[in-house]
Amino acid sequence: MAIAKSDPSEEVYELHLEIQAFEKQFRECVDISGIVIKKNKDLLQIVTAKSDPSFAEQQSNDLKVEISRLTEKS
C-alpha cells in the first residue's frame, strides 16, 4: 500500500494518472478482442466453405501468428 500524500490534490492527480493507464490497457484489450472475434468469424467462414483440412490449418496458423504479433506489442 502506498503512503498517502500530504497534499490531497497531488493524491487525486496520481490517482487520475493511474486511472488513465488502466483505461489505456482496457482500450487495447478491447481492440485486440475485436480483432480476435473478427478473425474467428472469418476463419469459421473459411472452414465452412473449404473442405480441405490443410487450407483450414494454414488459416489457423496465420491467425495465431497475428495474435502473437498483437500481444507482443502490448
Could you report the per-residue pLDDT of 10-35, keeping only the tens digit for each? 889 999 999 999 999 999 999 999 99
CA 30, 35, 41: angle at the middle one, nearest 5?
Answer: 125
Cα distance between residue 36 and residue 18, in whole Å = 27
Predicted local confidence at residue 51, as pLDDT:
65
pLDDT at 18: 95
CA R_g for the chain: 21
The pLDDT of residue 53 is above 50: yes
In whole angstroms, what is the distance from residue 63 CA to residue 26 CA?
22
For the record, the C-alpha cell of 19 comes out as: 486511472
Mean pLDDT for the stretch of residues 50-71? 80
Evaluate whether 47 touches 59 at the Cβ level (below 8 Å). yes
